Structure 1
Amino acid sequence: MDLEISSLAQSGGATLVTLMATDAWQTAREGFVQLWRRMQPQRAEAVAAELDVGYAEVLAAAVADDQEVLSEVRAEWQGRLRRLLVAQPEAAAELRRLLDEIDPSASAVDAAVTQRATASGHARIYQAGRDQHITER
């Protein structure tokens, strides 16, 4: 699977679920429904209903501080977005534009950073998601 599609879907799902518990929810909801109306019009009404179910689940999970439910809802939407992007790659530009509109801090470029490292012997590993300054003497 294309890393860019996976990263964009991850960012989109995380942003969507985060916004479900904010005042920006209605704007985000409408933007995602419009995205599906343009890309898969036959699925738009079902997606709208699924968004409403997810919204209710997120609100209940936020009140109960249930991180597991929040993670599940996030994963569901990441999967839906990934499937949409795989089926219709032209949706990527629209999803990026939507994310920039509803949550400018959710830039797809900086959305997900996965780092792995293995050290052995006397090796040193330095990892950073952004700037890193190391001064060794």
Structure 2
Amino acid sequence: MDPEAALLAQSAGITLVTLMTTDAWQRTRDGITQLWHRMQPHRAETVAAELEATRDDALAAEAAGDRETLGELHAEWQGRLRRLLVARPDVAAELRALLDEVEPPGVPGSAVVQHARASGHARIHQAGRDQHIAER
């Protein structure tokens, strides 16, 4: 799988689960279900049911502040979307367009992905937003 498609699956899984707990959920669910119906019609009903079950789990986890469960749900949908992209690479543009359409303006649902490696006495400082370091 090409790295760009892998990043799309990762971002889409996080965005999808994040949107499950927002007002954008119905449009998101409809868009993902329609996408599956066109690309893998034999799986569309199953995916629709899995979306609803995941939403119930996401709402409960959000209410409880359970970040671990939310992370598991992100990973679960990243895997499903990755498998769809592997089977149907032509779906990437449509998936991107759907996510752009349903994501609330100014509220990014995708994660900031950072990778770092240090050795010896090296220090790494990473942030997804503001960071202030005062070393003396």
TM range (shorter): 0.7 to 0.9
Is the alpha carbon distance of 1:70 and 1:115 closer, same or farther for their aligned partners in structure 2, counting shifts above 3 Å?
same
Q: How many residues align?
A: 127
Is the alpha carbon distance of 1:88 and 1:26 closer, same or farther for their aligned partners in structure 2, counting shifts above 3 Å?
same
Q: Which amino acid aligns with 2:81?
A: L
Q: Partners of 2:80 and 2:124 in 1: how far apart?
A: 36
Residue of structure 2 equivalent to 1:133: none
Gaps of 5+ in 1: 131-137
**Partner-residue secondary structure (3-state), 2:89:** coil
TM-score, structure 1 length as denominator? 0.81
Shift of 1:113: 3.1
Identity %: 61
Shift of 1:117: 3.5
TM-score, structure 2 length as denominator? 0.81
Gaps of 5+ in 2: 130-136
Residue of structure 1 equivalent to 2:6: 6
> CA RMSD for the aligned pairs?
2.3
Residue of structure 1 equivalent to 2:18: 18
Q: Partners of 2:112 and 2:26 in 1: how far apart?
A: 25
Is the alpha carbon distance of 1:107 and 1:65 closer, same or farther for their aligned partners in structure 2, counting shifts above 3 Å?
closer
Q: Any residues of structure 2 matched to 1:60-99 within 5 Å, and which?
A: 60-99=60-99
Residue of structure 1 equivalent to 2:44: 44
